Chains A and B, each alone.
Chain A
Amino acid sequence: MCLALPVKVIELGADATAIVDLDGVRKEISLALLDEVSVGDYVILHVGYALSKLDPEEAAKTLALFAELRASEPGAP
Chain B
Amino acid sequence: MKYIDEFRDGGVARILAGKIAAAVEPGRSYRFMEFCGGHTHAISRYGLADLLPPAVRLIHGPGCPVCVLPIGRVDLAIDLALSRGVILCTYGDTLRVPASDGLSLLKAKARGADIRMVYSTLDALKIARDEPQREVVFFAIGFETTTPPTALAIQQAEREQLLNFSVLCCHVLTPAAIRAILDMPEASAGGAVALDGFIGPAHVSTVIGTRPYEFVAADYGKPVVIAGFEPLDVMQAILMLVRQVNQGRAAVENEFSRAVSREGNLKAQQRMAEVFELRSEFEWRGLGVVPASALQLREAYAAYDAERRFKLVYRPVPDNKACECAAILRGAKRPQECRIFGTVCTPENPVGSCMVSSEGACAAHYSYGRFRDTTDRVSA
- A-side residues, CB < 8 A to B, are 1-6, 8, 23, 30, 32-35, 42, 44, 46-49, 51-56, 58-59, 61-63, 65-66, 69-70, 73, 76-77
Contacts and interface: CB of A to CB of B under 8 A. Distances in A.
A47 to B, nearest CB: 5
A50 to B, nearest CB: 10
Contacts of B202: 2
Contacts, number: 134
Contacts of A54: 3, 258-259
Given A1-B146, A4-B145, A33-B152, A44 B259 contact: yes
Interface in B71-101: 91, 93
Contacts of A66: 6, 9, 12, 232, 236
A49 to B, nearest CB: 5
A4 B229 CA distance: 9
A72 to B, nearest CB: 8
B66 interface: yes
Contacts of A23: 1
Given A59-B3, A76-B14, A49 B259 contact: no
A2 B9 contact: no
10 contacts: A1-B143, A2-B38, A2-B143, A3-B203, A30-B149, A32-B152, A33-B268, A51-B148, A59-B258, A61-B257
Contacts of B268: 33, 51
Contact of B146 (A32, A42, A47): A47
A2 B145 contact: yes
Contacts of A35: 267
B200 interface: no
Which 5 pairs from chain A and chain B are nearest by CB? Answer: A48-B120, A59-B258, A52-B206, A6-B3, A58-B257
Contact of A73 (B6, B15, B65, B232): B15
Contact of A69 (B1, B12, B123): B12
B357 A55 contact: no
A42 B204 contact: no
Contacts of A48: 119-123, 149
Contacts of B36: 2
Interface in B239-272: 255, 257-260, 265, 267-268, 271
A29 to B, nearest CB: 9
A49 B16 contact: no
Contact of A3 (B38, B236, B259): B38
Nearest to A4: B203
B207 A51 contact: yes
B206 A51 contact: yes
Q: Which of B6, B19, B203, B257 is the most central at the interface, judged by chain A CB atoms within 10 Å of its CB?
A: B203
B145 A51 contact: yes
Contacts of B257: 55, 58, 61-62
A1 B145 CA distance: 9
A30 B152 CA distance: 10
A7 B292 CA distance: 34
A33 B204 CA distance: 14
Contacts of B255: 62
Given A2-B37, A44-B203, A70-B12, A49 B265 contact: no
B146 A6 contact: no
